[in-house]
């Protein structure tokens, strides 16, 4: 029995915190944008890097406090003991680094409700990855739920796009370039590229959750805070690499800290808190729990975006969101049926956490 196992009440609190934090993250990032082009007054890579530093600091502090009876030398040995399993933390760290950077880019092109809606595609990607990597069959009910999921996303995306176009026209924000044929074609291509990156973020979310859950549960008996520390060390290294790749230089942390304000502080704090909650959610619950959380996030984000950013919420967007919610219920029911069928089969020695996908 893991000494860090948590109660049902703690799990419920963890889910509530996770939902509230990740709704807040998108709202704060959206609020930090300036000008007509929704530009940031800071380097998003720097913001992601600082988030990793905060998460590492918190995890190390908790780990050291919970193991106060252990000598400092032994603590550092436990951190620096490199094994094959620990090297595996680098893969989810890389995927999450790309995911977090894409989050800033996608919120420049889409409102939080639409971003939340499209990210639900990760459930379909999860089933696809399970089929591709684990050679698992996709039952009819699960396949049907994935079809409904994609239909819901398409309806919601088209409805939000149409509503935003009408809003721009009513406020006379459309330029002459957008009104001519060539300009319209340019805008369409830009939208397709932006939508591709949003779908890519959904795929990375699914892939990262599966890999991260596998890595964390492979060493289930190891302290979650030690696991987090190892994961965030990788995250810092990879984000520095991302800065070098994107800008040709190490992210200027000092410049970022010099220009800190309330919004940027809240972006780092909420992102850090969300990362810590997500790690606990994947260790003590599952990726499917995150899928349920995503549905609640989608509706709360829609409501709050309408209040704070005057985001248009068309009826068909809500229809798409309702279809996605129904699809996730069917998807989960299919998983339950698979588990029941597996329970009736002769016992096998299977410990792979990915088998439930």
Provide the pLDDT for residue 171. 63
Report the alpha-carbon angle 162-168-173, nearest 5: 150
Query: Euclidean distance between the first and final Cα of the chain, in Å?
Result: 24
d(CA 156, CA 324): 9
Interhelix angle 181-218/112-119, rounded to 10 degrees, is 60
Sign of CA dihedral 285, 286, 292, 296: positive
Provide the pLDDT for residue 38. 82
Sign of CA dihedral 8, 22, 329, 199: negative
Residue 347: enclosing H or E segment and its boundaries?
A: none
Length of the chain: 357
- As to burial, measured by CB atoms within 10 angstroms (0-12 exposed, 13-18 middle, 19+ buried), residue 198 is buried
Alpha helices in 171-223 (DSSP H): 176-179, 181-218
Provide the pLDDT for residue 185. 52
Q: What is the pLDDT along the chain (357 residues), one digit of tens a residue?
A: 344 566 778 888 888 999 999 999 999 999 999 887 788 989 999 999 999 999 999 988 988 888 777 666 676 666 666 666 677 888 888 999 999 999 999 999 899 999 999 988 988 888 888 788 767 788 888 899 999 999 999 999 899 888 887 877 776 544 444 444 445 555 555 778 888 999 999 999 888 877 877 777 776 777 788 888 888 999 999 999 999 988 888 888 888 998 899 999 999 999 999 988 887 887 777 766 777 788 888 899 999 999 998 888 899 999 999 999 999 888 888 877 877 777 676 655 544 444 444
d(CA 56, CA 75): 15
Q: Assign residue 312 a region: left if phi > 0, alpha if psi is -120 to 50, beta otherwise?
A: beta
129 contacts 138 by C-beta, under 8 angstroms: no
d(CA 187, CA 267): 30
d(CA 319, CA 316): 5
Provide the pLDDT for residue 346. 60
Domain boundaries, the chain: 8-342+350-356
Under DSSP, the state recorded for 346 is P
Provide the pLDDT for residue 355. 46
């Amino acid at each position: 029995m893991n000494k860090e196992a948590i109660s049902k009440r703690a799990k419920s609190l963890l889910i509530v915190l996770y939902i509230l934090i990740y709704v807040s993250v998108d709202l704060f990032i959206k609020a930090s944008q300036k000008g007509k082009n929704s530009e940031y007054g800071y380097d998003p890579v720097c913001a992601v890097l600082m988030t990793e530093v905060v998460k590492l600091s918190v995890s190390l502090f908790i780990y050291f406090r919970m193991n106060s009876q252990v000598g400092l030398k032994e603590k550092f040995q436990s951190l620096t003991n490199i094994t094959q399993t620990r090297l595996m933390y680098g893969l989810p760290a890389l995927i999450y680094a790309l995911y977090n950077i894409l989050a800033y880019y996608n919120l420049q092109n889409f409102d939080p409700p639409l971003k939340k809606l499209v990210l639900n595609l990760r459930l379909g990607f999860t089933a696809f990855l399970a089929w591709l990597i684990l050679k698992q069959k996709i039952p009819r009910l699960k396949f049907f739920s994935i079809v409904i999921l994609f239909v819901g996303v398409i309806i919601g995306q088209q409805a939000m796009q149409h509503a935003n176009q009408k809003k721009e026209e009513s406020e006379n924000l459309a330029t002459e370039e957008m009104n001519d044929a060539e300009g319209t074609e340019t805008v369409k291509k830009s939208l397709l590229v932006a939508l591709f990156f949003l779908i890519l973020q959904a795929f990375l979310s699914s892939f990262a959750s599966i890999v991260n859950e596998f890595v964390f549960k492979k060493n289930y008996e190891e302290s979650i805070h030690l696991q987090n520390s190892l994961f965030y060390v990788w995250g810092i290294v990879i984000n520095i690499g991302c800065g070098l790749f994107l800008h040709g230089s190490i992210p200027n942390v000092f410049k970022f800290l010099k220009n800190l304000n309330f919004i940027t502080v809240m972006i780092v704090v909420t992102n850090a808190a969300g990362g810590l909650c997500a790690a606990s959610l994947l260790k003590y619950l599952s990726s499917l729990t995150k899928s349920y959380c995503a549905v609640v996030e989608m509706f709360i984000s829609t409501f709050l975006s309408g209040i704070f950013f005057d985001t248009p919420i068309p009826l068909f967007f809500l229809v798409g969101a309702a279809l996605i919610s129904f699809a996730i219920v069917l998807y989960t029911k299919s998983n339950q049926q698979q588990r029941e069928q597996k329970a009736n089969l002769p016992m096998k020695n299977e410990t792979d956490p990915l088998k439930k996908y």
